[in-house]
Amino acid sequence: MRITTRGRYALRASLALAEMGRTGDLVSINSLSEAEDISPIFLEQIFFHLKKAGLVNSVRGPGGGFNLAHPPEKMTVREILVAAGETLSPGYCDKLKDNCSKRSCCKSHSVWNKLSDVIDDYLQSITLASLLEDDEGKR
């Protein structure tokens, strides 16, 4: 499994949006860009995917911006990474598909399948709220 820059930035920007939008205010791409040192053009691309997945809302025009579509307690790292286009299965086996011709005789298939499940479950168990709480405990 390899998380791309898009996935890492999607998570960082989502966390920043959750933190900056705690008061319910909309957060602009430029504010997020400055806070996270991410190109505003790249953030627009990322937020297009997050909006399409129903994870963020947007309002156009002056005073517009973004906010989370769900409370941080309900948004998981897995959802964000998948919305950003990340593949969360391990890259060790290209035979993870159900139609693999060697599936019945491959001794290692179950290892990669179970690892994929563990990764999926772990990322699904981490919410934006839990990450924000962890960060607050370090201050």
Domain-wise residue ranges, the chain? 5-87+127-137
Beta-carbon contacts of residue 85 (< 8 Å; ≥ 6 apart): 4, 6, 7, 49
Structure token digits, residue 40: 């505003």
Identify the burial level of 38 via C-beta atoms within 10 angstroms of its C-beta, where 0-12 means exposed, 13-18 middle and 19 or more buried: buried
pLDDT in tens, 60-113: 988 889 999 999 999 999 999 999 999 887 765 655 555 666 666 777 777 877
**Calpha distance 139→133 (Å, rounded):** 10
Q: What's the whole-model pTM score?
A: 0.85
- Cα–Cα distance, 117 to 87 (Å, whole number): 13
The fold adopted by the segment(s) 5-87+127-137 is Arc Repressor Mutant, subunit A (1.10.10)
Distance CA 92, CA 63 (A): 47
Rounded CA-CA distance 97/80 in Å is 23
With bands split at pLDDT 50, 70 and 90, how would you rate the model's confidence at 139?
Answer: very low
Percentage of residues in the chain with pLDDT exceeding 70?
86
pLDDT at 95: 52
Confidence of residue 34 (pLDDT cuts 50, 70, 90): very high
| β-strand partners of 127 | 76
